[in-house]
Structure 1
């Protein structure tokens, strides 16, 4: 039975509990060689308790995971859970202050009007701020603490780990900047987030960025990095779908979206595939995605499917929209529960095996980053849908300091290198392919079969149409 959290909807509590279970299983598996299971679960419980009473819950599991990984980093299993790091303690102080009207009335009033989707915004900003203010940890001398310009941004959640990277923090600090970021979905950044208190908006798609530009009469934008949509699977599933004509093996495996939509549209199940002895389950052949009503990765996947369903033509106009909506809705409605963040299904893919998630829609960057963390197993396979789309992370500067961030992310070689290490493609193709090669990830060096995302209004109509189908 789910917990009752005052001020938080029951379905949100259930999602948090599910995410916490998945995250704990992942931590236990990753740390099992050095840390006893009971110590991991104890650390998770203690970290989770820190957020008791906080009404904004969406990113609590992610924050808990980061705290626990930081605390249990010592490879000596005899060492008990150490005290919180300086950045975590700073986060707690900032969180307490920003949740108290007397302490921060202006910042609290701005956040109070923002939607729940921004997640644990105050706490995340505190973590990043703590890492910047104390770059050397507890023992850093007072002289190293600078007073850089604070630049605030709202960004897609998949970029939070990049901005929290201490190396990124240091490069920005060397340029006189401290960045505080708050996470939100790209659709929400473009529609419901109050951008008045931010210096830049950094959604994960061009359509969302263009809407912000039109609304605020801004012509400048930066696209410092991008990541194509990919589909992660496992070797036994890849072999089955190769026989079915969906996956085409090669140095870089591809996923034929046209053939896939034929199977999904006719309701073919896994146990209908000829000679299927490896995954003979009575489930529809579906790619697991995030919730299209809130997540950009699902919107990008919908863009690919709409192009294929519309006879390989970008959807334009009400007639085309109505033509493709039945096929698109089926892809999402048959999935059941879907996460709000791309972190959810990918974490389940990494942890739980092919049973629950034989096919998962992800960002290429997630797979490359996970490979760098040693989380990709030998039977995992990365494929590229044909066609695919690029999720172009587009920064819209709202102030002069926001413009400086856009220029730094685009031009600074250190930040571009770090973006590549986080799995993103930058203007330096060789740098990205080198990172992927070091991590033994077969990636497409040059993406050829790439289609444009529909115009913002069309994409919104399609997403709204799918959302209405849920009801």
Structure 2
């Protein structure tokens, strides 16, 4: 039975509990060689308890995992659960600020005084990733001649902005960027953009909606990343025999054949001669939550194109035609994460048992390879067709415009973006990074389709969301 958290919906509590269980299992597996299981679970419980009563819940499992990994990495084995870290104290402060803001009458505040509740927890995530915690109303003053520029960005770009080398290039150009993560759909619809200097969603449709709403004509697309499907060699061999995966220098994933299998309810143990993964589960690609995550929306765009007889969906008739097939791809998955980091981290740590197929950004795989996290049996495939997730920056003022210009024109920032797995205008630079990391990538993306118009994509996402209910 799920616990009750005041002010938090029951379904959100269930999602948090499931995420906590999965995260704990992953930690136990990762740390089992050096840390006793009971010490791991005790540290998780203690870290989780620190967030009791806090209304901001979305990023709690992520924060707990980071806290525990840091604490259990302490060289002194007698130190089990130290005092709350700066990140945790920041989280608690933000929660208190949020509670106070909810209880008091609305009043005029400075741009930096109170972080909006919808992304308050995201500040802490940004701080933990970057190793710096930005507190509401108390941020460290910038160096002389350096302008602080605030942006809201897709979570997959957080590690790029947290890179000290990126920060140095920006500082050399008189800028210190402070970023907070949010889903691209959230950035375009619910985030209060008045608190930011630029918005940096992961898709053109979301950026175009922001432009229309705020009457802005300028935009920058400094880098991009296609949607990919990550799997494992035994699974790839099974799906090759089933005609879904076509091996080659760069493996491809036939979306048409896949939709036929998924649509007919074929399970893994239905595949002929399947002795490597004979489980009674539907053959499904694991995704994020389409109601909040851009990667799931891009995956939906690919599936909608194939389900609509290889034509971009336009109009209510076409939307209704494809919705049953699209809904089935998501509803049959069960729990889905809000961020693309969730399923990909499970892929990296838990093996093919829970996640034999995962929808990711190509950039995630290439970046993970640079960190030594890709194992020999892990396989990157490209859906045919695929879509390009074009990370599009919309400047909301002159300082935001300067960030867009630098990301687009500065050669060092483009090189660093490639190191983080993104494709820039320099194809040779990206393929060189991938080759150094032994990741076979498609140098030139050929079978790429456009995503539907923003309104159509919203209708499809809303239709899938309604199917959840």
Q: Give the TM-score taking structure 2 as reference length.
A: 0.87
1:228–1:388 Cα contact (<8 Å) kept:
yes
2:222–2:391 Cα contact (<8 Å) kept:
yes
2:170–2:176 Cα contact (<8 Å) kept:
yes
Q: Aligned-pair distance for 1:172? A: 2.8
2:114–2:136 Cα contact (<8 Å) kept:
no
Q: How many residue pairs were aligned?
A: 468
1:7–1:55 Cα contact (<8 Å) kept:
yes
Give distance in 2, aligned partners of 1:138 and 1:212: 27
Closer/same/farther in 2, CA of residues 38 and 160 from structure 1, 3 Å limit: farther
3-state SS of 2:131 partner: helix
Closer/same/farther in 2, CA of residues 271 and 119 from structure 1, 3 Å limit: farther
Closer/same/farther in 2, CA of residues 23 and 310 from structure 1, 3 Å limit: same
Worse-superposed segment, 322-331 or 120-129:
120-129
Q: Aligned-pair distance for 1:316? A: 1.5
Give distance in 2, aligned partners of 1:127 and 1:426: 27
2:97–2:114 Cα contact (<8 Å) kept:
no
2:112–2:137 Cα contact (<8 Å) kept:
no
Give distance in 2, aligned partners of 1:90 and 1:113: 13
Closer/same/farther in 2, CA of residues 219 and 141 from structure 1, 3 Å limit: closer
RMSD of aligned alpha carbons: 4.0
Closer/same/farther in 2, CA of residues 123 and 384 from structure 1, 3 Å limit: same
Give distance in 2, aligned partners of 1:437 and 1:403: 33
3-state SS of 2:432 partner: helix
Q: Aligned-pair distance for 1:469? A: 2.2
Closer/same/farther in 2, CA of residues 90 and 321 from structure 1, 3 Å limit: closer
Q: Aligned-pair distance for 1:140? A: 15
Give distance in 2, aligned partners of 1:372 and 1:136: 36
3-state SS of 2:455 partner: helix
Closer/same/farther in 2, CA of residues 125 and 437 from structure 1, 3 Å limit: closer
Closer/same/farther in 2, CA of residues 137 and 427 from structure 1, 3 Å limit: farther
3-state SS of 2:434 partner: helix
1:128–1:163 Cα contact (<8 Å) kept:
no
Q: Aligned-pair distance for 1:337? A: 2.2
Closer/same/farther in 2, CA of residues 269 and 127 from structure 1, 3 Å limit: closer
Give distance in 1, aligned partners of 2:143 and 2:395: 33
Q: Aligned-pair distance for 1:303? A: 0.6
Worse-superposed segment, 251-260 or 87-96:
87-96
Closer/same/farther in 2, CA of residues 421 and 70 from structure 1, 3 Å limit: farther
Which residue, out of 373, 378, 381, partners 1:380?
Answer: 378
Q: Deviations over 1:328-362 (max 9, x none)?
A: 12212222222222222222222222222211111
Worse-superposed segment, 347-356 or 238-247:
347-356
1:87–1:134 Cα contact (<8 Å) kept:
no
1:347 aligned residue? 345
Q: Deviations over 1:374-410 (max 9, x none)?
A: 3222222111101100111111010111111112222
Closer/same/farther in 2, CA of residues 106 and 69 from structure 1, 3 Å limit: farther
Worse-superposed segment, 311-320 or 68-77:
68-77
2:90–2:133 Cα contact (<8 Å) kept:
no
Q: Aligned-pair distance for 1:461? A: 1.4
Give distance in 2, aligned partners of 1:395 and 1:421: 19
Which residue, out of 393, 397, 400, partners 1:399?
Answer: 397
1:154–1:184 Cα contact (<8 Å) kept:
yes
Closer/same/farther in 2, CA of residues 152 and 142 from structure 1, 3 Å limit: closer
Q: Aligned-pair distance for 1:201? A: 0.9
3-state SS of 2:103 partner: coil
Q: Which runs of 5+ in 1 are unaligned?
A: none
Give distance in 2, aligned partners of 1:55 and 1:177: 33
1:371–1:439 Cα contact (<8 Å) kept:
yes
3-state SS of 1:65 partner: helix
Give distance in 1, aligned partners of 2:171 and 2:51: 29
Q: Which runs of 5+ in 2 are unaligned?
A: none
2:255–2:384 Cα contact (<8 Å) kept:
yes
Q: Aligned-pair distance for 1:245? A: 0.6
Worse-superposed segment, 410-419 or 265-274:
410-419
Give distance in 2, aligned partners of 1:202 and 1:22: 30
Q: Aligned-pair distance for 1:35? A: 4.9
Q: Aligned-pair distance for 1:468? A: 2.2
Closer/same/farther in 2, CA of residues 130 and 266 from structure 1, 3 Å limit: closer
Q: Aligned-pair distance for 1:150? A: 2.1
